[in-house]
Amino acid sequence: MIDQRRHGPWAIIAGASEGTGKAFAKALARAGIASILIARRQKPLADLAAEIAEETGIECVCAAIDLYAPDAADRVIEAAGDREIGLFIVNAGGDPEGQHFLDLPVENWIDQVNRGVLAPLQCCHHFGTQMAARGQGGILFVGSGACWGGAANMAAYSGIKSFMLNFAEGLWAELQPKGVDVLYAALGTTDTPELRRFMAAKNLPLPDDLADPEAVALRLFDEIGNGPVLIWGQADDEAGHLPMSAAGRRTRTLAIGQATKRIFGK
């Protein structure tokens, strides 16, 4: 599963207060890895840190950071300080809107881009540089099946997820030879408090066959070395209704990299 020597001694979880973020933190603690827990609200983070300390003896650090803010990446980097970050998990990124693009002020969508693209990109550059220099580490993007294409009510959301999918594949191609794992997890619908709040606000029933957050965390840690893509609910070589299987995207990523060497060099 997760390797304390390769992916420790510290992890950062952006979006850690509940759901899959909480499951990641607890699974990491059981593996002996402490986390810097990041979310907007301090109290849920403090409660989670106390629970982890009681269960495992691992002391986590809490950082209440608004990941929508333009300076979010700077604050995440500041929270990490001089700690050695072996794993960076991009877990914040749900869609709280679920509305047509033109029905909301553009600032709402800019906030989503800040949280879902700009802050992760800046953090990946900072922590990825450190990991590559050490020759080990991991970056995990908790994504969505919305990455495969756009639809009404999720124009910005699906665009963000698609960008991060392609970014993760390129980053994997560049960092995997340097010993750094990169994985984008295209998840299905997961049973999180955020999903339950969203469905309740829309007066809609919960979907069937929700994924369990703890099962998601363990599966992603099992697969982190098998990047660049994991498609939830499908085998590595199975495309299902999607354009391409995870194995096919891996092959494509490597093939394109070989083909473009004549333009970009190494």
Place of tokens 């509305």: 99
Residue 266 · residue 177 · CB < 8 Å: no
User: Angle, nearest 10°, between helix axes 246-259 and 155-175?
Assistant: 60
This prediction's pTM: 0.91
| CA gap 108, 152 in Å, rounded | 16
User: Angle, nearest 10°, between helix axes 213-223 and 19-30?
Assistant: 60
Task: Kindly calculate the radius of gyration of the chain based on its CA atoms and give it in whole angstroms.
Answer: 18
Predicted confidence band of residue 197 (pLDDT cuts 50, 70, 90): confident
Helical (H) or strand (E) element with 201: helix 193-201
In the numeric block, which tokens belong to residue 104?
A: 């909301």
In the numeric block, which tokens belong to residue 260?
A: 């473009």
Predicted confidence band of residue 257 (pLDDT cuts 50, 70, 90): confident
**Of the candidates 65, 58, 59, 93, which has an alpha carbon nearest to the alpha carbon of residue 79?**
65
pLDDT of residue 193: 67
pLDDT digits (tens, 9 = 90+) for 138-185: 999 999 988 998 888 889 999 999 999 999 999 999 999 999 999 999
CA angle 141-143-146, nearest 5°? 155
User: Angle, nearest 10°, between helix axes 119-134 and 155-175?
Assistant: 10
